[in-house]
Structures are given as C-alpha cells and as structure tokens.
Amino acid sequence: MSESPVKMLTDALAADIMSGRLAPGTPLPTHRKLAARYGMAIASASKAYAHLQSMGLVIGEPGRGTFVRDRPQQREWDNDDEARLNAHVTDLSFNHPTWDGQADLLRTMLRDLATSGDLASLMHQQPPGGRRHEREIVAQFLARQRGVRVEADRVFLVGGTQQGLDIVTRALLEPHDSVAVDALSYPGFKMIADAHRLTLRPVRSLSLSDGPDFDALDALCRRHRIRAIYTMPTLHNPLGWVLSAEQRRRLVEIARTHDCLLIEDAAYAYLAGKAPSALVTMAPERTVYVSSLSKSLASGLRFGFVVVPEAYAGRLKAAIRASYWSLSGIVTTMAMRWMDDGTVARQETFLRRDARHRQAIARRVFTGMDLTAHPSSMFLWLELPNDLRMDRIATALAKRGIAVSKARAYATTKHAPHALRIGLSSVTVDRLESVLMDVRATIEQFPI
Ligand SMILES: Cc1ncc(COP(=O)(O)O)c(C=O)c1O
C-alpha cells in the first residue's frame, strides 16, 4: 500500500529538520501555502504540522506561524554508539523540562528588560558570586521555596548545579581526597571527581529505595580519611529516594564524628514537595548546598546557587574569581525577576503535578516490572528482567529510535546492575504512554 500524502510530507519535512537543512528558528510556510505547494487540502497540511509538532520538531506560535524547533542537541555532545544508530531519537536519557509558555515568558521578559531603567548596568562586570541584593533575593527564594534559611553572604550565584559542584570541588577539596558517594550516583559528579582526581568511595544501599547503608558509611569513614560525602538527600538521582529525618540525623552525626564536608546536591529537591530539613540547615558549619533553576524553569538558562559554610566563603569567592568570575548580567537579572515575582514558584508547582502525572502513566505501563522511582520524579529506574544485558537492550531501543541511560553511567562501583534510567520529561505527555509501551515491548520481545 502506498504511503499517504500527509505521511510523505511529514517525513520529508522531518528529514529536512533532522538533517539541519531547515535550521532551528526557520519560519515554515503557512498551512495554506504549504497545502498549495504540495497540491493538497489545507486540512492535510495542518495534519502534517500537527504530527511534526507532536514529534517535537516544530512549534506553532499563535499569531506568528510555525517554526522549526530548537531541540536539545544531546546527540551532538554524546559519542555513544547507540545514539548514532538512529537520527530520529526520542530522548529519554535527559530531562529537559519544556512547557507551553516558555517562549512567551522569555519574550515578555526581553520586552520588559528592553524598556527598563538602567539597562547599561547589565553590560558591567558583576562581582564574583553575584551582587549583594541578588544574593539576598536568592536567600529569600530558598527560604520561601525550599525551606532553607541562610544568610545572603553565604550564597553565591553559579551557572547551574554542575558548575556549582565543580567550583566547590575546586575551592574546598584537593586532588586524591576521598569522597564517599552512593553506589549509584549522579554521573556529572563522577566526571567532576575524575577531572579533579578525587578518589570516589562507594557506599552501598540497603535496598534501592531506602537510601544508603549508614553503618557501611560509618565503617568506610573509620577505614579511610573521607574528606567529603556527596549526597542527594531529597530526590536522589537516579533512585528517587528522600531520606527521612532520622536518616539525615545519622548522616550529619557521621559527618561530624569523622569531620567530613557534606555536599548536598538539591538539583531535583523541589519535586519532592514537603521533605525533612535540608542538611545545610541541620549542619550549616559543614554543608555545601547546590541547586539551580535548570529542572524547574529552563535547563538552558544556566542559573544556580551554592550555599557554603561561613568559614569557606572566602575560598569559594577566590575559586569563582579564578574561573568564571561572574554570571552574565542578563541571565542573572532575568532569574532574579522570575524568582522574585513568583514565576519559578508557579512553575515548580506545575512541574510537580506534571511529574506525578507522568509517573502514574509510567507505573501503569511498567506494571509488574522492577521499577524504582519517587512518585513525583521526572525519571525512573528499571531493573531488567531475566539477566537481560543493559547494553543490548539500550541498542535495541536505539534501533527503535529511543535513547535511554544505562546503569553503568551511574555506578561508582566496578559492577553496575543491569538497569536503565528512563527520563519522563522530554517527550510531550500525550506521547509518553506510547513511547513507554515501546520500551516495554522492546524488553519483553528481546532478542527478537
Ligand atoms: C543530581 C544532579 N545534579 C546536578 C545536575 C546538573 O544540573 P544543572 O543543569 O543545574 O547544572 C543534574 C542534572 O541532571 C543532576 O541530575
């Protein structure tokens, strides 16, 4: 049977977009012009645009037309073989929260900025770590939104959590220092440890959802001089756990007994909603807290913040001065306004609900499989059944156009479990169920 004209047109436009022949931002013909060009009904042209929109390749902006969408170019900086097997990738390996209204929010902000008073000040060099009033706005935001009460002079502005972790490592740790990490932990911290030649010492978990085995951590601290403990107490990546108040007390007690710095990564913490106190408020003298607006407002904004113990503020400032000096004034000003006027708060509420909805879909699709996740997290951990190998399943998924993360990237031990981390936020919610069903079918039908 020959393909329908709508499908042929959709595929032709998709190929042009995927290959870059149609660059991001290119305005596409109106529905009427497209229909006339291909000799088809306007409704058919509209259908083709609707398909492209649901594939995430174009975006229709009311009153302005249809544009080629700028997609996260993950594949460009990823040299994973599987990723190259298929250009039409549905990317479940990263979480880039995108939501309707992101473009309008930026457009409105840029218009407001253009007409605001002292615009030239944004062209001036900013002090390392941010201007006093900006650090104050972040401190107030942390108190309101994260329940973290800290003095503004302990707050430093950074270009995202990753840069925050890097600058903290630079400022406060030495090469060959030992850092305790969970046996499954955030891959970005493994990269930082590698770059700074830290020695990572893994701590096993009691079970996938229960958090670290603190007796094992204590024993580790007795055997080795552990300088720091890198931890995600509130919504762990990749397992989604939220440590209880009791577990946090134990963690702080171990850190105090063995004089360890606590590096608290709160990149996803806002998703958990109500959680026990942050470590930075329990042990302010030894906790560094790092977070950003990447997972709630926009991953491309590159805006984050670090809170350090008072005694380390000078060292952090010196490290910032030696590297990026300060953030861009424009980015900082936009982030300040969005934190101050409630935009970030509204967005966080919306995304918590959205993540819950997506988790519910995932739980339905993966019923009966070995899944670990927080109910309002943007990702889940899927242990593979019957000794299926993660590499082979990831390759099979890539052939079907789906990219996922393999457990190996998260493992800090030699042997990684055969598991996948599946991100739920990068596809539109109406496509999520069918993409996840494809994942399930690929696993169940393997090796067919
Ligand atoms: C646990 C964790 N920390 C840090 C980061 C980096 O976030 P940012 O975009 O704020 O640099 C991520 C991103 O995925 C993350 O999952």
CB 153 within 8 A of CB 313: yes
Q: Are strands 27-28 and 65-68 parallel, antiparallel or unpaired?
A: antiparallel
Pick from 70, 143, 434, 441: which is nearest to 305 by CA? 143
What's the average model confidence in pLDDT over 125-131? 94
Q: How far is the CA of 264 from the centre of ligand 1 (A)?
A: 12
Find out whether the beta carbon of 291 lies less than 6 Å from any atom of ligand 1. Answer: no
How many whole angstroms from 305 Cα to the centroid of ligand 1?
12
Query: What is the position in ligand 1's atom list of the atom closest to the CA of 232?
Result: 1
Transcribe 103-126 into DSSP letters: HHHHHHHHHHHHTSTTGGGGGSPP
At 28 the three-state DSSP class reads strand
Question: In terms of C-beta density within 10 A (0-12 exposed, 13-18 middle, 19 or more buried), how is residue 252 classed?
Answer: middle
Tell me which residue has its CA closest to atom 2 in ligand 1: 267
Average of per-residue pLDDT values in the chain: 92
Q: How far is the CA of 161 from the centre of ligand 1 (A)?
A: 5
Domains of the chain, with CATH numbers? 5-68 (1.10.10.10), 74-95+345-445 (3.90.1150.10), 119-340 (3.40.640.10)
Ligand 1 pocket member 304 (CB < 6 A): yes
- How many Å lie between the centroid of ligand 1 and the Cα of residue 375? 19
Residue closest by Cα to atom 15 of ligand 1: 267
Distance 409 CA to ligand 1 centre (A): 14
Q: 160 in ligand 1 pocket by Cβ < 6 Å? A: yes
The Å distance, Cα 234 to ligand 1 centre, comes to: 13
From 157, 186, 264, 379, the mutation candidate for ligand 1 (largest count of ligand atoms within 8 A of CB) is 186
Residue 17: predicted pLDDT: 86
Q: Give the closest residue (by CA) to ligand 1 atom 13.
A: 267
What tens digit of pLDDT does each residue of 325-357 get? 999 999 999 999 999 999 999 999 999 999 999
Q: Which long-range contacts (CB under 8 A, 24 or more apart) does 430-436 make?
A: 430/54, 431/54, 431/90, 432/358, 432/361, 432/362, 433/361, 433/364, 433/365, 435/90, 435/92, 435/402, 436/361, 436/362, 436/365, 436/366
Cα-based torsion angle of the residue sequence 293, 295, 300, 302 in order, rounded to the nearest 10 degrees? 40
Query: Do 344 and 391 meet the contact criterion of CB atoms below 8 Å apart?
Result: no
Q: How far apart are CA 169 and CA 115, in angstroms?
A: 40
Is 117's pLDDT higher than 70?
A: yes
Minimum-distance ligand 1 atom for the alpha carbon of 237 = 1
Whether the Cβ atoms of residue 336 and residue 134 lie closer than 8 Å to each other: yes
Enter the tokens of residue 389: 């190998």
CA angle (294, 314, 121) in 5-degree steps? 60
Is the CB of 405 inside a 6 Å radius of any atom of ligand 1?
A: no
Confidence band for 1, pLDDT divided at 50, 70 and 90: very low
Cβ-contact 390, 419 below 8 angstroms? yes
| pLDDT tens digits, one per residue of 63-110 | 889 999 876 554 444 555 544 444 467 889 988 777 778 888 999 999
Residue 226's H or E segment, with its range, is strand 226-231
CA 389/CA 110 separation, integer angstroms = 48
Q: Using the 8-state DSSP alphabet, how is residue 203 labeled?
A: E
What is the position in ligand 1's atom list of the atom closest to the CA of 163? Answer: 11
The pLDDT of residue 447 is above 90: no
pLDDT given for residue 103 in this prediction: 85
pLDDT in tens, 216-274: 999 999 999 999 999 999 999 999 999 999 999 999 999 999 999 999 999 999 999 99
pLDDT of residue 88: 60
Return d(Cα 7, Cα 24) in angstroms, integer: 22
Ligand 1 and 299: CB distance under 6 A: yes
| 3-state SS class at 261 | strand
pLDDT of residue 19: 79
Give the Cβ contact number of residue 169 at 10 Å. Answer: 23
Ligand 1 pocket test: pick from 162, 232, 302, 412 the residue with the most ligand atoms within 8 Å of its Cβ: 162
Q: What is the DSSP letter of 409?
A: G
CA–CA dist 390, 405 (Å, integer): 9
Q: Which one, of 202, 249, 267, lies nearest residue 229 by Cα? A: 202
Q: Is any atom of ligand 1 closer than 6 Å to the C-beta of 161?
A: yes
Separation between Cα atoms, residue 264 and residue 258, nearest integer Å: 17
**pLDDT number for residue 72:** 56
Using alpha carbons, select from 196, 194, 144, 191 the residue that is nearest to residue 170.
Answer: 196
β-pairing, 287-292 vs 261-265, is parallel
Which pLDDT tens digit goes with each residue over 368-422?
Answer: 999 999 999 999 999 998 779 999 999 999 999 999 999 999 999 999 999 999 9
Whole-number Å distance, alpha carbon 430 to ligand 1 midpoint, is 26
Is the whole model's pTM more than 0.85, yes or no? Answer: yes
Query: Residue of the nearest CA to atom 7 in ligand 1?
Result: 161
Q: Is the CB of 265 under 6 A from ligand 1?
A: yes
Q: Residue 301 and residue 324: Cα distance in Å, rounded?
A: 16
